Structure 1
Amino acid sequence: MTTQNKSRRIEQLIEVLADGEFHSGERLGEQLGGISRTAVNQYIETLQQLGLEVFRVSGKGYRLASPLQLLHQQQIQDYLVAEKIELPLELQRVVTSSNDVVKELRVANPTAGLTVLAEAQTAGRGRRGRQWHSPFGTNLYLSMYWPLARGLSAAMGLSVALGVGIAELLDSAGVQNVQVKWPNDVYVNNKKIAGILVELEGHASEAAHVVVGIGLNLSMPSATKNIDQPWTDLASELPTALNRNYWAAKMVSECYRRLQAYDSDGLTPMLASWQRFDKFYQKPVTLVMGNKNVVGRALGIDDDGALLVERNGQVERFHAGELSIRDVAEV
């Protein structure tokens, strides 16, 4: 069997089980093209590897622990039309990394705003090569291509601009205590809800390309393991019921518009908004850069997206590092 056929059968199985009802192994085998019950069980194991909780009850068959609200491309497109956004959009159920798929697609279609949405990633990644936990059908994995006519130097503040955009979007939807963490994370009540990965190709003084990846926790499974920091999801923070297709469209729209605004006006118009949401503003912090620790007081960012830290009476600019609240022992 080809990889493509296997992937399609996995998608078909998910679509059948999405209703949360029991489906017999025999019936599932028929719906998947006449395969055996043993083969059905093997596909079920694949779903479990994707983070889906599947129950099997003798005499009843298989069902998911809870129904899935799947993403649908046409619904997302309809929302985008209402937002007056036109861009190439592709929805895929399972990918290795949505950023990698965009990189492949842009070779044939280098259109600004080319976007891939995924239900799950098998090799999702965050900053510094870290794994991005990507269970199926619960969160949002979005990647967008954007050309940089002014070269890589123009990309310095991209993650900051997008972080501000996500924070404003969540805040406007009624989410309380939204925070941004320099340079690429969004928090709610000190719990991570979204992360941004910017991957660049090109040279500093020549036209370049960027692929922006955004992971937003929509309805993270409560039993999720292997996440080494506090997290939350949109379903827990919204005052109203979650519509995954609506939020997928809102995130695509916000990302596209924010990149346009950054292209035309830079970060300067966004600085006040960043300060409003800044998780570390005016707080004692430690910035870790390899084996070096910078200890001081965070003063926000400048119009290039650099972190401003006051220490020894001087304000210094930093473009990289891991930021945290300074430990009491360091004060």
Structure 2
Amino acid sequence: MARRDIDSILMQALADGKFHSGQALGDKIGISRASVNKHVQKLGELGVDIFRVTGKGYRLAHPIQLLDLEEIRKHLPHSSKQLDIDVLHVTDSTNDVLKQKIVNDPEIKPGTAVLAEMQVKGRGRRGRPWFSPFGTNLYLSMYWPLTGGLNSATGMSVALGLALARELSQQGIADVSVKWPNDVYIGGKKAAGILVELEGQAEGEGFAVVGVGINLSMPDDLQSIDQPYTAVQLHHDETIDRNHWAALIVHRCAHALRGHDAEGLANVLATWRRFDYFYQKPVRVLLGQHEHVGIGHGIDEMGAFLVKQEDGLKRYFGGEISVRTPSA
């Protein structure tokens, strides 16, 4: 049995947060107590918090709800029931797994999604690491064909960021905003991020791999994250059901991508203003070594960030542009 299969069974057994003896775990998996201990140590190295007490066995620091494909499918709206979805245990990156799946399957369907309990090498925009602890948040990637070439992806990341913000708002979360182009904030702290990776030709066929990370139940004292962050659970009265939320986000992403294919950003410009973190605020735009200051003025139909400056309205696109409030 592969190591990751053993780890998966082990985590399923420990998910209840109760003590389980090494012997019982070994019997369940079909390995020795010594092997159980080795696997527990490896999981600990990945950041999984497992206690070991002599005479009692092993238990997680707290119970967790593991992702379950059958449960996710139960929660999917009818229009997304046909989507192909894979749920993985621990992987390097869901984006990388999906890219390999695209290579191996020429018949891959639009909206095919890969979710994981944990990413070892999760990444965000500009290659920044995305902290992906086990069994607490949502990490997913979705495939979307670009029949009109890479040019047809213009504004896609903006549409997705707005879609996530709208979903959070509809689930009762207050003070949701989007920092252009697609970072989702709750109460001024980052709660979700999106990475869109494109492959293909400018005007020929291509595809997008959309990576989404959402903090559902993130611990609030992580030193490895260098910016203010928050988690959905801290702003939600009911206990978060990860499988329900996985279904919500998978459906919302597929719906947003279908809408972007059909209409671009034309029908979401007004909605963007409602969630725009920078609208009518003083901002500075860092473009290479140059700094541009002005007042945030929303986006245009191409998803460009608009800044009102002394000499008129200026448009800024993605890439190496950084947008910060002057006090940041």
TM-score by length of 1: 0.95
Name the counterpart of 1:324: 324
Question: Out of 54, 57, 78, which is 1:61 matched to?
Answer: 57
Mapped to 2, the partners of 1:61 and 1:292 lie a distance apart of 58
Q: Aligned ranges for residues 274-293 of structure 1 at < 5 Å?
A: 274-293=272-291
C-alpha deviations, 1:273-329, integer Å up to 9, x for none? 11000000011111112222221111010010000112223111111211110139x
One-letter identity of the residue aligned with 1:22: F
One-letter identity of the residue aligned with 2:99: K
Name the counterpart of 2:67: 71
In the alignment, is residue 28 of structure 1 matched against residue 22 of structure 2?
A: no
Name the counterpart of 2:269: 271
Name the counterpart of 2:199: 201
Gaps of 5+ in 1: none
Report how far residue 222 of structure 1 moved: 3.3
Query: 1:131 aligns to what SS in structure 2?
Result: coil
Query: 1:268 aligns to what SS in structure 2?
Result: coil
Name the counterpart of 1:182: 180
Q: Answer yes or no: is the 8 Å Cα contact 1:175–1:239 preserved in 2.
A: no
- Label 1:51 to 1:223 Cα distance change in 2 as closer, same or farther (>3 A): farther
Mapped to 2, the partners of 1:56 and 1:286 lie a distance apart of 51
Q: Aligned ranges for residues 230-309 of structure 1 at < 5 Å?
A: 230-309=228-307
Name the counterpart of 2:166: 168
Mapped to 1, the partners of 2:111 and 2:30 lie a distance apart of 37
Mapped to 1, the partners of 2:252 and 2:217 lie a distance apart of 20
Q: Answer yes or no: is the 8 Å Cα contact 2:98–2:141 preserved in 1.
A: yes
Report how far residue 82 of structure 1 moved: 4.5
Question: Out of 2, 6, 9, which is 1:5 matched to?
Answer: 2
One-letter identity of the residue aligned with 1:8: D
Query: 1:269 aligns to what SS in structure 2?
Result: coil
Between 1:141-150 and 1:43-52, the stretch displaced more is 43-52
Name the counterpart of 1:311: 309
Report how far residue 149 of structure 1 moved: 1.1
Name the counterpart of 1:94: 90
- Label 1:56 to 1:222 Cα distance change in 2 as closer, same or farther (>3 A): farther
Between 1:103-112 and 1:164-173, the stretch displaced more is 103-112
Gaps of 5+ in 2: none
- Label 1:84 to 1:156 Cα distance change in 2 as closer, same or farther (>3 A): closer
Mapped to 1, the partners of 2:31 and 2:196 lie a distance apart of 44
Report how far residue 59 of structure 1 moved: 1.0
Quote the RMSD (CA, aligned, Å).
1.4
TM-score by length of 2: 0.95
Question: Out of 125, 128, 134, which is 1:127 matched to?
Answer: 125
Query: 1:100 aligns to what SS in structure 2?
Result: helix
Name the counterpart of 2:144: 146
Query: 1:113 aligns to what SS in structure 2?
Result: coil
One-letter identity of the residue aligned with 2:4: S
- Label 1:31 to 1:85 Cα distance change in 2 as closer, same or farther (>3 A): closer
Mapped to 2, the partners of 1:202 and 1:144 lie a distance apart of 16
Percent identity over the alignment?
Answer: 47
C-alpha deviations, 1:65-90, integer Å up to 9, x for none? 10011110011112125455321111
Report how far residue 224 of structure 1 moved: 2.5
Q: Answer yes or no: is the 8 Å Cα contact 1:50–1:120 preserved in 2.
A: no
